Amino acid sequence: MPANLQIILAQRPTPGPLTPQDFRSQETPIPVPGPGEFRVKVAYVSLDPAMRGWVSDAKSYVPPVPVGDVMRAYAVGIVDASEHVGFKVGDAVQGLFGVQSYAISNGRRVVKVDATAAPLERWVGGLGMPGWTAYFGLLDVGKPKAGETVVVSAASGAVGSVVGQIAKIRGARAVGIAGGPQKCRDLVQLFGFDSAIDYKKAGWVDDLKAACPQGIDVYFENVGGEMLDAVLPLMNIFGRIPVCGLIAGYNAREAMLGPKNFRAILTQRLRVQGLIVFDWNDRIPEASAALGAWHKEGRLKIREDVRTGGLPAFAETLNLLYSGGNNGKLVLKV
Amino acid sequence: MPANLQIILAQRPTPGPLTPQDFRSQETPIPVPGPGEFRVKVAYVSLDPAMRGWVSDAKSYVPPVPVGDVMRAYAVGIVDASEHVGFKVGDAVQGLFGVQSYAISNGRRVVKVDATAAPLERWVGGLGMPGWTAYFGLLDVGKPKAGETVVVSAASGAVGSVVGQIAKIRGARAVGIAGGPQKCRDLVQLFGFDSAIDYKKAGWVDDLKAACPQGIDVYFENVGGEMLDAVLPLMNIFGRIPVCGLIAGYNAREAMLGPKNFRAILTQRLRVQGLIVFDWNDRIPEASAALGAWHKEGRLKIREDVRTGGLPAFAETLNLLYSGGNNGKLVLKV
The answer to whether B59 contacts A267, with C-beta atoms less than 8 Å apart, is yes
pLDDT of residue B2: 79
Work out the number of other CB atoms within 10 angstroms of the CB of residue B101. 24
| Helix axis angle, B284-296 to B158-169, nearest 10° | 80
In chain A, which residue's Cα lies nearest the Cα of B137? A269
**Mean pLDDT of the region A211-240:** 95
The residue with greater pLDDT, A262 or A172, is: A172
Amino acid code (one letter) for A84: H
Torsion B290-B284-B73-B251 (CA) sign: positive
Work out the number of other CB atoms within 10 angstroms of the CB of residue B28. 13
pLDDT of residue A206: 97
pLDDT of residue A239: 98
**Mean pLDDT of the region A310-328:** 88
- As a dihedral over the C-alpha atoms of residue B257, residue A218, residue A288, residue A124, rounded to 10 degrees, the angle is -40
In chain A, which residue's Cα lies nearest the Cα of B234? A59
- Per-residue pLDDT of A266-291, as tens digits, reads 999 999 999 999 899 889 889 988 99
Mean pLDDT (chain B) is 93
**Distance (Å, rounded) from C-alpha A248 to C-alpha A232?**
16
Q: Which of B263, B271, B273 would you mutate first to test chain A, the one with the most A CBs within 10 A? A: B263
The residue with greater pLDDT, A49 or B165, is: B165
Check whether A252 has a pLDDT greater than 80: no
Distances (CA, A) of A1 to A4, A8, A29, A89, A311: 10, 21, 9, 20, 18
- DSSP for B15-36 reads SSS--GGGEEEEEEPPP---TT
pLDDT of residue B286: 92
**Mean pLDDT of the region B274-297:** 91
For A67-82, b/e burial (b = at least 16 CB within 10 A) is: eeebbbbbbbbbbebb
Which element (helix H / strand E) includes A45?
Answer: strand A38-46
**Distance (Å, rounded) from C-alpha B260 to C-alpha A296?**
43
The answer to whether A265 contacts B243, with C-beta atoms less than 8 Å apart, is yes
Check whether B257 has a pLDDT greater than 80: no
Which residues in chain A are classed under CATH 3.90.180.10? Answer: 4-125+303-333
The answer to whether A275 contacts B268, with C-beta atoms less than 8 Å apart, is no
B248 neighbourhood in chain A, CB within 8 Å: none
Least CB–CB distance from B270: residue in A245, A246, A274: A274
Percent of chain A with pLDDT over 70: 98
Distances (CA, A) of A163 to A198, A308, B130: 18, 27, 39
CATH of B129-278, one of 3.30.1950.10, 3.40.50.970, 3.40.50.720, 3.40.50.460: 3.40.50.720
Check whether B252 has a pLDDT greater than 70: no
Check whether A255 has a pLDDT greater than 70: no
Please check whether residue A162 is in contact with residue A130, taking contact to mean a CB–CB distance below 8 angstroms: yes
pLDDT of residue A1: 60
CATH 3.90.180.10 corresponds to the domain A4-125+303-333:
yes
Which element (helix H / strand E) includes A184?
Answer: helix A181-189
The answer to whether A275 contacts B260, with C-beta atoms less than 8 Å apart, is no
Percent of chain A with pLDDT over 90: 76
**Mean pLDDT of the region B38-62:** 90
The answer to whether A258 contacts B257, with C-beta atoms less than 8 Å apart, is yes
Check whether B266 has a pLDDT greater than 90: yes
In chain B, which residue's Cα lies nearest the Cα of A276? B269
Strand locations in A96-209 (E): 102-105, 111-112, 149-152, 173-178, 195-198
Q: Which residues, 6 or more positions from A15, have their beta carbon under 8 angstroms from its beta carbon?
A: A56, A251, A252, A253, A254
pTM, two decimals, is 0.89
The answer to whether B272 contacts A273, with C-beta atoms less than 8 Å apart, is yes
Q: Name the band, by pLDDT with cuts 50, 70 and 90, for residue A16.
A: confident
**Mean pLDDT of the region A117-130:** 91
pLDDT of residue B255: 66
**Distance (Å, rounded) from C-alpha A330 to C-alpha A316?**
12
In chain B, which residue's Cα lies nearest the Cα of A245? B266
DSSP class of B313: G
In chain B, which residue's Cα lies nearest the Cα of A141? B271
Q: Which of A263, A268, A278 would you mutate first to test chain B, the one with the most B CBs within 10 A? A: A263
- Per-residue pLDDT of B104-124, as tens digits, reads 999 998 989 888 888 999 999
pLDDT of residue B237: 96
Check whether A89 has a pLDDT greater than 90: yes
Least CB–CB distance from B243: residue in A60, A224, A266: A266
Distance from CA of A174 to the nearest CA of B (A): 23
- Per-residue pLDDT of B154-213, as tens digits, reads 999 999 999 999 999 999 999 999 999 999 999 999 999 999 999 999 999 999 999 999
- DSSP for A71-87 reads PP--EEEEEEEE--TT-
**Mean pLDDT of the region B233-248:** 94
**Mean pLDDT of the region A146-167:** 96
Q: Which residues, 6 or more positions from A203, have their beta carbon under 8 angstroms from its beta carbon?
A: none
Using alpha carbons, select from A95, A102, A231, A92 the residue that is nearest to residue A155.
Answer: A231
Of A234-248, A270-284, B235-249, B256-270, the poorest mean pLDDT is in B256-270
A224 neighbourhood in chain B, CB within 8 Å: 262-263
Mean pLDDT (chain A) is 93
